[in-house]
A and B are shown apart, each in its own frame.
Chain A
Amino acid sequence: MAIPQQKPVTAERKHRRRRRRHVWKDKHFRWVPDGQGDWRVQAYVYRHHHKPKRGHFRGPGVKPPRRAAAAAPAPVIAASDPRPPGAFQGDFGHAQAVRLLQRAGFGPVPGQADQLASLGLVAAVRSLTRPSGSAVLSGPPPRDDDGNPLAPADAWGHDHLWWLDRMVRTSQPLVERMALVLHDWFATSNANVSTTQQMIDQSNLFRSRCFGSFLDLFRAVTVDPAMLQWLNGNENNKWAPNENYAREMMELFSLGADSGAYSEDDIREQARALTGWRNDWGDLGAYNFRFDPKRHDTDPKTVFGRTGNWGWEDACRLCVEHPLHPSFFVSKLWSYFIPAPPSTAVREQLEGTYTGSGWQIRPVLEEILMRPEFYEGPPMVKPPVVQLASMLRALGRPVDTGAWVWLCEEAGQRLFWPPNVSGWDDGRWLDTSRMRARWNMVTYALEEVSVDAWSDDYSTTETPDEALAHALAAWGSPALREDHRNELLDFGRRSESRIVANWQKGPYRALRQNALLQLIGVSPDLVLQ
């Protein structure tokens, strides 16, 4: 979708003539990660500011050790990288780029993190928040278990697979991630919506409006057919108001339950303001959603102490104009990207950005994604579909089985079926049932990577170090905590010590490889982002 580029507001420059200085461009060579845990030589243009001496060192130098802990070479900070005040000031290298891709997308494909790191912080964030054109889906298209294309609106579970595939293949990962955020924010479930197409349409609404005005988004969601059904907006009329949407629009979407922002009377008055939407009923359920003035209550309503002949657009605007809305908005958006809440000062700064921009989402989002708390703070648990999409991207596997539908359901996150109108509880992604589902999800994800220990010929000499390197490379070389790495090496040695007969040498090493692949997949390193 075409999203207009925002021009940064800068003080007008006064007649400053810039002297163009000559640079000497020179071909140099450096080592870059090859995405398989090893290094490859990359040629690049080095810009000398003084005439280079003939025969000077042009790289690449000594090859770094395989799987070096700090895998990325020092990133080249692009010249266009003036970081705004309050932004993260440290190095924006491989690890930071990985975190950005994990939380503002669905993790890197091999090589992507270094590519992003080379842009520098500001350009990297903007490459996500200001995509141009429509998203491109690259790689093999999704298939069901029989190899057929998906029918997302018609076949059971294909809606889930359709969105999962977008997460795996999109060129605009933050659009998909924000759509997921908004699916949780305005949580609507297919449980009480006539057709799956209406759910998919709602997710497209999230995609197209995720960086724009929150008020516009809020109004669009309020009269979205799926939402009108889900929270009974289509049954709310002047003779018998239905309070369902009026309550949740304030409690969950714009103001919060516990701030004292509204009273039970405000809910009843808002319900009257929202009256008038209706639809027809056909074989497929509800259709032809429209505003019917005959059903709208035209008497004055008093909401938050403001009296007027309010309608549904006013109902949304009154919420957004409420003095407690900016803090709700900032805190909620922040919570999707950073686990600990912002300090009061930071929150107020972001509120200023939000109100100053006329309730635009993008400027707040960009500031959050550049905050030091984002890069320096503790990790957070990935939502189940995010972990799954990340794994498929790392493994290079397309969506090719319906197993993801029930595995995600068991892990606690079936897309288009949030548990209730408050969305998924991010504090409760992990318990014994859901952890088991993540384990089994890893098992399925490794289907093509695992070896058949009993029929394939497997190395009879592979060492624990080689085995771990091999398994990590298959996962796209994720960084492991030192203690986990040591545990996996210890596992490799313990497994080897279980070999007591000659025939076990190959098969047990193959089993060890499968187990290492599994353990990496369920390690905290891959569960966290």
Chain B
Amino acid sequence: MSAHRPGHSCCSGYTRSQLLRSAAAEAGKGLPAIEPGMPEPAGTGLSRRRFLSRSAGLALAVYGASKIPLSAFEPGIAQAAQGEKIIVSVFFDGGIDSLSVLAPVGDPRYQQLRPNLALPPGAGSTFSEDPNLQWHPAAAALATLHGEGRVSAFPAIGYDHPDQSHFTSRHYYEIGELQVGYRTGWLGRYLDAVGDDENPLQGLSLDGSLSPMIATAEKPVAAIDSVDGYDLWARVDDPIEEEMFRSFARFGSLPSDSPGLAQVRRAASQTDKLRQDLAGVGEFSSPVAYPDNWFSHKLAGLAAYIGVGLPIRVATIRAPGGYDTHADQAGDLEDSLRDTCEGILAFQRDLEARGLADRVLVEMWSEFGRRPEENGSLGTDHGAAGCAFVIGSKAKGEMVGEFPGLATLDGDDNLRATSDFRGMYCSLLEQWLGFDAEAIIPGAAGFARPVLVKP
């Protein structure tokens, strides 16, 4: 049974995993532990000890020393990415309503277009760079970071001739180009250029499936479902286990004669490599308190991974909740947005405490904003320009592109864009990652580069 109350609706099950877990927790029976702590091997005939031998046992040794031994990696890999700048992409899946996150309470048309959904003036703190805008109360944590000069806000980001399909527009953002059918993401192409042939951790998705944004053509990348361990279970012990994994890895390196076979081989070889690389990762502790939710737990794990020197260059994670708020927007948006912003604030404080804050920038984005005029279901339909944020100690902290106002909308009655997402990508590549955007973003020369990074 869904834990969702009746009447809630949006066009897609963006919240699948989260909901499953919360539903399971509430149902409370027959619950497979997909929460932190690892599945109880119910009904498998396997002892718990054997399941955990690869994670917990080693984890104590490793984290007791608060450092992953470099021997956990093949020579060269750990050094290759250590000390590198890191980008963490946070995706608001479904098209977040930018007119709620940064509500234009000072715009005369706002009340008129949003008779039911407009945020009242004074409900949240004023956005200091444009007094007509006001932070959503649930984004207070983001407002705090903005006040510290750690947030560059894009109040109306987008592109010309906006596409209002989730999947098309999201694809554009993922690949960094207005084309369909690309198979590599913009950060994937960056990893192809600078990455290591043997290090799947350089591009890491934390959502149990690989983000298309870091899909590469050549270099290995990884997805994990949990930050608490990465074990492959079998009723096999050493020394036979060692031989078994050797054969599994060879399944991954034999020649292929079809794309399907090549895909399985690639997955097998990367899985075995990741198994070795994460063999020592298990429990971790955080120097700061995180909110109690799955998203925050993953961010805490990510900070710990970076802290012990895992060679990560790019990480992706989906913000909790769903943002395709066609109906009953107010309540859904508030909870999800609060969890996201508070998680990000804790992550930033964690990085500061670990002395890593100068190495990490967070980029928050969504595939589009929503239509300024609300619909009849207390929700909003697909729009055009939306919001994005670049967050971190090294973020410049200045608004990019002004809020265009609601007086003049585009031909589809949607918000006009005042910045292009590809310009943001070019700036991140050049100013943060120190890499020539021309090699990654098609037509890069044509985009203005906002200053996103503090000198």
Bound form: Cα–Cα A239–B375 in Å: 9
Bound form: Cα–Cα A419–B167 in Å: 12
Tally of A interface residues using CB under 8 Å: 98
The minimal Cβ–Cβ distance linking B15 to chain A, given in whole angstroms, is 6
Provide the B215-230 mask, 1 if CB < 8 A to any CB of A, else 0.
0000001111100001
Q: Are B168 and A440 in contact (CB under 8 A)?
A: no
Bound form: Cα–Cα A487–B244 in Å: 10
User: A196 an interface residue at 8 Å Cβ cutoff?
Assistant: yes
Bound form: Cα–Cα A379–B256 in Å: 11
Supposing A431-B222, A487-B250 touch, asked if A412 and B167 sit within 8 A by C-beta, the answer is no
Supposing A156-B23, A414-B16, A431-B267 touch, asked if A436 and B232 sit within 8 A by C-beta, the answer is yes
Q: Are A420 and B13 in contact (CB under 8 A)?
A: yes
State which of B38-46, B287-295, B416-424 sits at the interface with chain A. B38-46
Q: Are B240 and A498 in contact (CB under 8 A)?
A: yes
Provide the A515-529 mask, 1 if CB < 8 A to any CB of B, else 0.
100110011100110
Bound form: Cα–Cα A416–B6 in Å: 17
User: A106 an interface residue at 8 Å Cβ cutoff?
Assistant: no
Q: Are B244 and A409 in contact (CB under 8 A)?
A: no
Provide the A207-228 mask, 1 if CB < 8 A to any CB of B, else 0.
0000000000000000000000
Q: Are A417 and B20 in contact (CB under 8 A)?
A: yes
Bound form: Cα–Cα A281–B327 in Å: 15
Q: Are A192 and B260 in contact (CB under 8 A)?
A: no
State which of A4-12, A298-306, A399-407 sits at the interface with chain B. A399-407
Q: Are B261 and A239 in contact (CB under 8 A)?
A: no
In the complex, which of the residues A427, A430, A518 has the most CB atoms of chain B within 10 Å of its own CB atom? A430
Supposing A231-B11, A258-B180, A281-B7 touch, asked if A434 and B43 sit within 8 A by C-beta, the answer is no
Bound form: Cα–Cα A410–B21 in Å: 12
User: A36 an interface residue at 8 Å Cβ cutoff?
Assistant: no
The minimal Cβ–Cβ distance linking B198 to chain A, given in whole angstroms, is 14
Bound form: Cα–Cα A511–B242 in Å: 11
Bound form: Cα–Cα A222–B316 in Å: 35
Please tell me which one of the listed residues B13, B34, B235, B376 contacts residue A417 in the complex, with CB atoms under 8 A apart: B13
The minimal Cβ–Cβ distance linking A120 to chain B, given in whole angstroms, is 27
User: B24 an interface residue at 8 Å Cβ cutoff?
Assistant: yes
Chain A's closest residue to B94 (CB) is: A420
Provide the A489-529 mask, 1 if CB < 8 A to any CB of B, else 0.
01100110010000000001001101100110011100110
Chain A's closest residue to B414 (CB) is: A264
Please tell me which one of the listed residues A285, A380, A420 contacts residue B12 in the complex, with CB atoms under 8 A apart: A420
Bound form: Cα–Cα A447–B208 in Å: 25
Q: Are A435 and B267 in contact (CB under 8 A)?
A: yes
Bound form: Cα–Cα A66–B377 in Å: 67
Chain A's closest residue to B163 (CB) is: A257
Please tell me which one of the listed residues A229, A421, A446, A491 contacts residue B244 in the complex, with CB atoms under 8 A apart: A491
Q: Are B267 and A232 in contact (CB under 8 A)?
A: no
Within 8 A of A (CB), among B366-403: 375-377, 379, 381-382
Q: Are B44 and A443 in contact (CB under 8 A)?
A: yes
Bound form: Cα–Cα A402–B20 in Å: 14
For B212, the chain A residues whose CB sits under 8 A away are: 428
Q: Are B377 and A232 in contact (CB under 8 A)?
A: yes
Q: Are A194 and B377 in contact (CB under 8 A)?
A: no
Chain B's closest residue to A419 (CB) is: B16
Please tell me which one of the listed residues B45, B205, B223, B265 contacts residue A447 in the complex, with CB atoms under 8 A apart: B45
Provide the B153-195 mask, 1 if CB < 8 A to any CB of A, else 0.
0000000000111111000000000001001000000000000
State which of B64-72, B268-276, B430-438 sits at the interface with chain A. B268-276
Supposing A285-B7, A498-B240 touch, asked if A406 and B32 sit within 8 A by C-beta, the answer is yes
Provide the B222-252 mask, 1 if CB < 8 A to any CB of A, else 0.
1111000011111111011101101110110
In the complex, which of the residues B27, B31, B221, B223 has the most CB atoms of chain A within 10 Å of its own CB atom? B223
State which of A57-65, A240-248, A307-315, A359-367 sits at the interface with chain B. A240-248
User: B10 an interface residue at 8 Å Cβ cutoff?
Assistant: yes
Q: Are A155 and B222 in contact (CB under 8 A)?
A: no
Supposing A156-B23, A381-B264, A417-B16 touch, asked if A508 and B224 sit within 8 A by C-beta, the answer is no
User: B79 an interface residue at 8 Å Cβ cutoff?
Assistant: no
Bound form: Cα–Cα A19–B251 in Å: 59
In the complex, which of the residues B30, B45, B250 has the most CB atoms of chain A within 10 Å of its own CB atom? B30
Please tell me which one of the listed residues B12, B30, B42 contacts residue A189 in the complex, with CB atoms under 8 A apart: B12
Supposing A193-B2, A515-B241 touch, asked if A378 and B261 sit within 8 A by C-beta, the answer is yes
Q: Are B166 and A431 in contact (CB under 8 A)?
A: no
For A528, the chain B residues whose CB sits under 8 A away are: 260-261, 264
Within 8 A of B (CB), among A148-192: 154-157, 189-192
Bound form: Cα–Cα A192–B16 in Å: 10
For A410, the chain B residues whose CB sits under 8 A away are: 34, 208, 225
Bound form: Cα–Cα A156–B34 in Å: 14
The minimal Cβ–Cβ distance linking B156 to chain A, given in whole angstroms, is 19
Please tell me which one of the listed residues A281, A487, A508, A524 contacts residue B265 in the complex, with CB atoms under 8 A apart: A524
User: A453 an interface residue at 8 Å Cβ cutoff?
Assistant: yes
For A240, the chain B residues whose CB sits under 8 A away are: 375-377
Q: Are B34 and A406 in contact (CB under 8 A)?
A: yes
For A437, the chain B residues whose CB sits under 8 A away are: 225
Please tell me which one of the listed residues B9, B20, B237 contacts residue A230 in the complex, with CB atoms under 8 A apart: B9
Bound form: Cα–Cα A257–B382 in Å: 15
User: B63 an interface residue at 8 Å Cβ cutoff?
Assistant: no
Sample of 12 further A-B pairs with CB below 8 A, known A419-B13, A443-B46, A487-B251: A194-B6, A242-B327, A242-B376, A257-B165, A428-B210, A430-B263, A432-B230, A432-B274, A439-B232, A522-B248, A524-B261, A527-B264
Which 10 pairs across A and B sit closest by C-beta, in order of nearness?
A: A240-B376, A189-B13, A285-B6, A378-B258, A191-B13, A420-B12, A430-B267, A433-B223, A515-B244, A431-B210
Task: Mark B residues whose CB is within 8 Å of A.
Answer: 1-2, 4, 6-17, 19-20, 23-24, 27, 29-32, 34, 39, 42-46, 93, 163-168, 180, 183, 200, 205, 208-210, 212, 221-225, 230-237, 239-241, 243-244, 246-248, 250-251, 254-255, 257-261, 263-268, 270-271, 274-275, 322, 326-327, 375-377, 379, 381-382, 412
Q: Can you list 24 A-B pairs with a CB-CB distance of less than 8 A?
A: A191-B13, A193-B2, A235-B327, A244-B381, A257-B163, A257-B168, A402-B32, A417-B20, A422-B166, A431-B221, A431-B222, A432-B224, A433-B205, A433-B208, A436-B271, A484-B254, A491-B244, A498-B239, A508-B240, A511-B235, A512-B240, A519-B248, A524-B264, A528-B260
